[in-house]
């Protein structure tokens, strides 16, 4: 089988990649398990030094890596450079703090001595998506490697070039042992890899459907899995919000990565007293954003990554309008090459319409009316997803109170939701389970061992 990279800005083929045969995958598994056994005996400081080197390499190669992302999945260059900078930051963060996070903790539990140890598990299979082809891998992989694990990366077929570039980056950083290898294999082969006894755990970023399948397979083998899945993040605009500032932040969040982000703002729940003003400002700011070839200058959003994804997004918009939503902006597939979709705004969105019930992966904003704050909270929680949310109010203390009522893993008050190395990241409900980043994330893929001595 061949995997083909297609430039979503013009639909042209970039490169093809041959699938790895079964014996080659088995050989990689053998080597990475051996690397784990050898590497876990090395001082954690050796890995810290390598991640500091990796951070420098990322910054040196930033422009080329951003261009690769633009060509393989349509990310505007400025956003691609920012993604690489964030990977460098994460590498530095764990290089500086991982040893503290994993140090043995003495406990009082009787006996002469008792303590908790944090030890690596082994080879971790990382099944990753195309939308943040570097950050998603680093977000799940850096902490696991710092803890002493090794990574098998099964990346999305459309970004094989990024997958190989990531492997090259880790090789260039000269870790004490090999710590990451990319597997160019079809998704149908993932269950067999999960079953392999040399694989200790699985981490996946993707759709709820993919997460359910991986969790079922990992559970059958009694292996831990970390799942970061979809989201339909609600942004609540309350009566006392700075509506102009809220509209600007909401548009920026909705259009990050051309709207193709699990934690992008998707549902804008606005209380009636400020809804008309918010709608006007939101449409104005959405209309002002520049769409075009992601390698161009001053581009805010590029194409949707694949034709089928654009068609699915448009179908969600059409069905929502058919069911009573009102179109304020966009909503038409443009003529010409590439898989572009314009900034689109719907209002009068209600439960039962696709843009309320489903995750929309593209530049489509759904404005949902709410009579008051209590209804806004109810509507926000009336979703199968539970990844992120934001609250806009001039009373920050009250914003915290509203945040405590929202059934999600991440809430930001007066700003957009983002992943930050210093804070645990993840969701509940169909948005997954487990956490990445911070001290919580590095302790997910380790053996938490209790030792008691008499």
Residue 400 has pLDDT above 90, yes or no: yes
The mean per-residue pLDDT over the stretch 1-23 comes to 96
Q: What is the pLDDT of residue 144?
A: 98
H/E element holding 356? helix 354-357
Residue 337 has pLDDT above 90, yes or no: yes
Residue 276 has pLDDT above 90, yes or no: yes
Q: How far apart are CA 28 and CA 129, in angstroms?
A: 21
| SS (HEC) of 323-346 | CCCEEEECCCCCCCCCCCCCCEEE
CATH topology of domain 233-420: Aldehyde Dehydrogenase; Chain A, domain 2 (3.40.309)
The C-alpha angle with vertex 324 and arms to 207 and 278, in degrees rounded to 5, equals 80
pTM confidence score: 0.97
Whether 204 and 127 have beta carbons less than 8 Å apart is answered as yes
Q: What is the pLDDT of residue 305?
A: 98
The answer for residues whose C-beta is within 8 angstroms of residue 338's C-beta and 6 or more apart is 8, 9, 10, 11, 293, 303
What is 108-165 written as a DSSP string?
--SSSEEEEEEEE-SEEEEE--SSSTTHHHHHHHHHHHHTT-EEEEE--GGGHHHHHH
208 pLDDT band (50/70/90 cuts)?
A: very high
What is 69-90 written as a DSSP string?
HHHHH---HHHHHHHHHHHHHH
Residue 111 has pLDDT above 90, yes or no: no
2-229+431-453: which CATH number, 3.30.70.1380, 3.40.605.10, 3.40.50.11740, 3.40.50.10470?
3.40.605.10
Whether 65 and 211 have beta carbons less than 8 Å apart is answered as no
Count Cβ atoms below 10 Å from residue 18 Cβ, excluding itself: 10
The mean per-residue pLDDT over the stretch 306-315 comes to 98
Q: How far apart are CA 315 and CA 313, in angstroms?
A: 5
Q: How far apart are CA 38 and CA 188, in angstroms?
A: 31
Residue 1 has pLDDT above 90, yes or no: no
The mean per-residue pLDDT over the stretch 155-170 comes to 98
The mean per-residue pLDDT over the stretch 335-363 comes to 98
Q: How far apart are CA 301 and CA 341, in angstroms?
A: 9
The total number of residues shown for the chain amounts to: 454
What is 434-449 written as a DSSP string?
S-BSHHHHHTTTEEEE
To the query of whether residue 262 is one of the catalytic residues in this protein, the response is yes
Point out the catalytic residue in the list 83, 92, 228, 436.
228
> What percent of the chain has pLDDT above 90?
99
Q: Coil, helix or strand for 425?
A: strand
79 pLDDT band (50/70/90 cuts)?
A: very high
Q: What is the mean pLDDT of the chain?
A: 97
Residue 197 has pLDDT above 90, yes or no: yes
Q: What is the pLDDT of residue 171?
A: 98
Point out the catalytic residue in the list 87, 162, 250, 262.
262
Domain ranges of the chain: 2-229+431-453, 233-420
């Amino acid at each position: 089988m061949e995997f083909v990279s297609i430039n979503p800005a013009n639909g042209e083929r970039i490169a093809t990649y041959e699938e790895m045969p079964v014996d080659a995958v088995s050989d990689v598994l053998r080597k990475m398990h051996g690397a784990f056994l050898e590497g876990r005996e090395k001082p954690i400081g050796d890995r810290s030094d390598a991640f500091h080197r990796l951070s420098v390499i990322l910054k040196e190669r930033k422009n080329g890596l951003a261009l690769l992302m633009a060509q393989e999945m349509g990310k505007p260059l400025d956003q691609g450079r920012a993604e690489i900078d964030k990977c460098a930051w994460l590498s530095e963060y764990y290089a500086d703090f991982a040893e503290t996070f994993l140090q043995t903790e003495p406990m009082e539990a009787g006996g002469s001595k008792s303590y908790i140890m944090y030890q690596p598990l082994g080879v971790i299979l990382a099944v990753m998506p195309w939308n943040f082809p570097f950050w998603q891998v680093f977000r799940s992989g850096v902490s696991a490697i710092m803890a002493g694990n090794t990574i098998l990366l099964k990346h999305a077929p459309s970004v094989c070039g990024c997958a190989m570039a990531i492997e090259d980056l880790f090789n260039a950083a000269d870790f004490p042992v090999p710590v990451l290898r990319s597997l160019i294999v079809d998704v149908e082969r993932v269950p067999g890899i999960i079953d392999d006894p040399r694989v200790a755990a699985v981490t996946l970023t993707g759709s709820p459907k993919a997460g359910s399948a991986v969790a079922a397979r990992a559970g059958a083998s009694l292996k831990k899995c970390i799942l970061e899945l979809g989201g339909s993040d609600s942004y609540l605009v309350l009566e006392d919000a700075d509506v102009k500032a809220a509209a600007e932040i909401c548009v920026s969040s909705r259009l990050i990565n051309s709207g193709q982000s699990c934690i992008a703002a998707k549902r804008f729940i606005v209380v009636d007293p400020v809804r008309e003003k918010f709608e006007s400002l939101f449409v104005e700011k959405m209309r002002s954003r520049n769409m075009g070839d992601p390698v161009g200058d001053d581009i805010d959003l590029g194409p949707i990554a694949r034709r089928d994804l654009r068609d699915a997004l448009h179908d969600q918009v059409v069905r929502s309008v058919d069911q009573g939503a009102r179109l304020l902006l966009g909503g038409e597939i443009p003529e010409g090459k590439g898989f572009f979709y314009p900034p689109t705004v719907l209002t009068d969105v209600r439960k039962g319409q696709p843009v309320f019930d489903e995750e929309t992966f593209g530049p489509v904003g759904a404005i949902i009316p709410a009579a008051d704050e209590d209804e806004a909270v109810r509507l926000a929680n009336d979703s199968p997803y539970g990844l992120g949310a934001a609250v806009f109010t001039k009373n920050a203390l009250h914003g915290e109170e509203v945040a405590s009522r929202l059934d999600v893993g991440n809430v930001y008050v007066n700003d957009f939701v983002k992943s930050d190395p210093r804070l645990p990241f993840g969701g509940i409900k169909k948005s997954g389970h487990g956490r990445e980043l911070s001290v919580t994330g590095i302790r997910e893929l380790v053996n938490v061992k209790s030792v008691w001595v008499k």
